[in-house]
Amino acid sequence: MNTLKYLDVDLNSSTDVLYDRNELGPPLAVKNLCSLYSIEFDRKSFETLNIGNQFQLVTKLSDRIWNLLPIKSHKIIIPDEDFKSNIIKALHFLEKNSDEWNKLKKYLTGICLVQLKPSYKDKEFEITSLSVPVFPFVSFLSKKSQFHIPPSIINEKSSLYLAENLLHESVHQAVNINLLDKDILEEDYNSEESPLVNIPWRQNQGDARNKKWQIDRVLHAISVYVVISFFRRNILQKNKKEYSKDMFDESVKNAKYLMKNLLPYRKHFKNSQILDELQNDINTLET
């Protein structure tokens, strides 16, 4: 199934982004951050650990680099053998069970394991997973990613849940890169001034920014829900007990809701064919 056609970017031929395509993963992420903030790149400012096939765990970032990222409430922790084993299992599982992963994995080539700092425990929640545009190809995960699927699904620790969270972040990385690489939104689009879409399933969250989403954030979310829905459907067809049909139905329902509420803002898209492709993907999920 050729889903999310608009994410088909040739990373080797892109010219619109500041990325050095010859070195993807953590080195590129740090280089991009240094370039954006006009600071000198220092290879000693990060350390990595190879795991799986062309996949890296970031085990250290210098304070200078870390302080440029919007995750100061967390700290990097060294993955234990159990987590590393689960990462390998999750990657293998995705390779065998997700056509979407095999298309999107080029966008996620490393992760950084983090934990909420004790001083923030009464102020913030620990993340499950996170990607930020200024740090391409590397996402942040906590150990919660092994048993929590945002916003509210919690189960026993499972490499399957970890696999879904990795797949989830690969979509965010792909959308981030494509928004920079392609003329998707109109040039005068400004996320800070964007129309907002009400998000019913986030209304009980304290943070106001999670209750209404900008157009670009809605595009991110639809893309995630489409990919995750195809993944969940595939798992259900293989009778995996970790998933229920309710989980699949919920992700499809959320995708449909967001699509319905994004279509009135078609004028903000320079290439509105993307919306038609996403709608076709959602229609396919219902057949």
pLDDT on residue 16: 46
Greatest Cα pair distance in the chain: 52
In terms of C-beta density within 10 A (0-12 exposed, 13-18 middle, 19 or more buried), how is residue 84 classed?
Answer: middle
Other beta carbons less than 10 A from residue 69's beta carbon: 17
Q: How far is CA 65 from CA 24, 38, 44, 137, 253, in A?
A: 17, 12, 11, 16, 39
Q: Going by C-beta distance under 8 Å and a sequence separation of 6 or more, which residues neighbour residue 185?
A: 179, 215, 216, 268, 269, 270
Q: How far is CA 131 from CA 155, 220, 253, in A?
A: 23, 11, 24
pLDDT in tens, 119-154: 999 989 999 999 999 999 999 999 999 999 887 788
Give residue limits of the domains in the chain: 1-170, 183-287
pLDDT on residue 278: 94
| Strand bridging mode 55-61 / 129-130 | unpaired
Specify the long-range contacts of residues 242-250, CB closer than 8 Å, at least 24 apart.
Answer: 242/155, 242/158, 242/160, 242/161, 243/160, 247/149, 247/153
Place of tokens 């982004």: 17
Residue 250 zone, left/alpha/beta (φ > 0; ψ -120 to 50; rest): alpha
pLDDT in tens, 73-122: 999 999 999 999 999 999 999 999 898 998 899 899 999 999 999 999 99
Q: How far is CA 267 from CA 213, 264, 273, in A?
A: 17, 8, 11
Is the backbone peptide bond immediately before 151 cis, with ω within 30 degrees of 0?
Answer: yes
pLDDT one digit per residue (tens) for the chain, 287 residues: 566 777 776 655 554 444 555 566 788 899 889 988 999 989 899 999 888 667 899 999 999 999 999 999 999 999 999 999 999 999 999 999 898 998 899 899 999 999 999 999 998 999 999 999 999 999 999 999 999 988 778 888 888 999 999 999 999 999 998 888 888 999 999 999 999 999 998 877 667 677 899 999 999 999 999 999 999 999 998 877 767 889 999 999 999 999 999 999 999 999 888 999 999 999 999 87
Which run of H or E residues covers position 212? strand 212-214
Q: How far apart are CA 130 and CA 71, in angstroms?
A: 9
3-class secondary structure, 110? strand
Nearest to 279 by CA among 267, 263, 268, 266: 263
Are 176 and 131 in contact by the 8 Å Cβ rule? The answer is yes
Tokens of 279: 């709608």
Other beta carbons less than 10 A from residue 244's beta carbon: 13
Other beta carbons less than 10 A from residue 190's beta carbon: 10
